[in-house]
Amino acid sequence: MGFKHLYYRTYHFGLKLAALFLPIPEPHIFHGKNVISQWLTQLKANKCQRMLLVVDPDILALELHQSLYLALIEAHVEVSIFSHFSANPNINQIEQGVFAYKQHHCDSLLALGGGSAMDCAKLIGARIARPKKSLQQMQGLFQVWGKLPPLYVIPTTAGTGSEVTVAAVVSDTERHIKFSINDLCLVPKGVLFLPELTTGLPAALTATTGIDALTHAIESYIGINDTRYTRGKSEQAIKLIFTALPMAFHQPNNVAARTDMLWAAMYAGQAFTRTSVGYVHAIAHQLGALYGISHGLANALVLRAMLDFYGQRIDTKLTQLAKQVIGEHSNANTLRSRINDLLEELRIPSHIEQLREQDIPLIASNALAEAHPDYPVPLFMSQTDMEDVLRSLLSNN
């Protein structure tokens, strides 16, 4: 191991100690019957009177926010709506949200949507908490150090885990990269599980967001910073995903499957917020920044190739995982087959149509720059390794 890799491992050990001892907040989960009324009671107790509703544009167009909006109005909470953001929210869009929050004199935030809406709301909150700090200055670990306005989220996809994580991701359109901001204060105050809002999710989006959750759980498990707690959360998530995701994909109105997927995404989020992720995410972020590929789809496209790259070097952990989520007679190969079969059933392509040969060196170097030293990956990739993996995903292969 060279000096650089030794430094990375020392840094990873420090991150593991921090995750073990830092008081990572746990949001209150509102679920079951009377979710909205329970939540409104807490809003009243917290004296939230003017809320910025950060809502996914598609949800706004379908008017799926209406019943929630009316409930807030009836509870005497003023609501301003912000939906001017894309699937990969960028810095300018976040700043527009900050302007809307200030313009309407808001005192709280609610995100309604998938990871984009939740990340957008988190970053608006971060800028409100630290108005003299730019998002670029908050990049990395523990750079916010402020108290966010009360932040609540309602996930309408089951995958990102952003509802329980310390992270938010933003696109920098000038540098053509995505970067993450990580701080304890970014964990929402509360999460509302309304599985009925996820039943209208298109099959393709159900698939890719579900594989996003699976990727979180797997990368958390195979990374070197796993603990008994995170392994347990990953196992819970993957068990649910293997059963509930195909069901939700084929039976979109199956509320039980949708509910299980909300829990699975949350468990996976609890795992990776303590262990971080790995190279799949590092590549996926670059694909999103360069080509506008949604985060869930990007992860789904890369997961198979990255597991192939790791090969037998992660088989011990995959076997351990397989025994927990499939059965005691299972092994790494059983688990790999199960994952590949799931990707095929969900119609995830094995190649990336948008990927161009000339972009590969830049994508690879940006992915490595993101991963090192922050991601405690099971083994290190070189520039050549990363480029080889990306070339295996070219559509002409």
Please report, for the domain that includes residue 239, its CATH number. Answer: 1.20.1090.10
> Of 180, 197, 214, which residue constitutes the final position of a domain?
197
Residue 288 has which token pair?
Answer: 């999103």
Nearest alpha-carbon partner for 30 in 66, 88, 71: 71
> Residue 235 is inside which H or E element, if any?
helix 228-250
Q: 327 by DSSP, 3-state: which?
A: coil
CA dihedral 60, 64, 67, 72 (to 10 degrees): -40
* Residue 119, C-beta contacts closer than 8 angstroms, at least 6 positions apart: 89, 160, 162, 168, 169, 170
Q: Domain of residue 291: give its range.
A: 200-391
Element (H, E) at 49: none
pLDDT of residue 1: 59
Question: Which DSSP string do the residues of 357-395 spell out, in sequence order?
Answer: GGGHHHHHHHHHHHHTTTS--SSPPPHHHHHHHHHTTBT
Same domain, 146 and 206: no
Q: Are residues 80 and 180 in the same domain?
A: yes
Contacts of residue 3, defined as CB under 8 A and 6 or more positions apart, other chains included, come to none
Residues 263 and 335 in one domain: yes
Distance of CA 318 to the CA centre of its chain: 22
Number of C-beta neighbours around residue 312 at 10 A: 9
- 7 within domain boundaries: no
The angle, 0 to 180 degrees and rounded to 10, between the axes of the packed helices 228-250 and 315-325 is 60
Contacts for 74 with CB less than 8 Å, ≥ 6 apart: none
Q: What is the chain's pLDDT, residue by residue, as a tens digit (397 residues)?
A: 588 999 999 999 998 998 888 888 999 999 988 999 999 999 999 899 999 999 999 889 888 899 999 999 999 999 999 999 998 899 999 999 999 999 999 999 999 999 999 999 999 999 999 999 999 999 988 899 889 999 999 999 999 999 999 999 999 988 888 888 999 999 999 999 999 999 988 999 999 999 999 999 999 999 999 999 999 999 999 999 999 999 999 999 999 999 999 999 999 999 999 999 999 999 999 999 899 998 999 999 999 999 999 999 999 999 999 999 999 999 999 999 999 999 999 999 999 999 999 999 999 999 999 999 999 999 999 999 999 999 999 987 6
Say whether both 170 and 245 belong to one domain.
no
Query: What is the pLDDT at residue 201?
Result: 86
- Give the Cα separation of 224 and 17 in Å (integer): 12
Alpha-carbon gap, residue 208 to 298, rounded angstroms: 8
Task: Return the CATH number at 58.
Answer: 3.40.50.1970
Residue 77 lies in a domain: yes
pTM of the model: 0.92
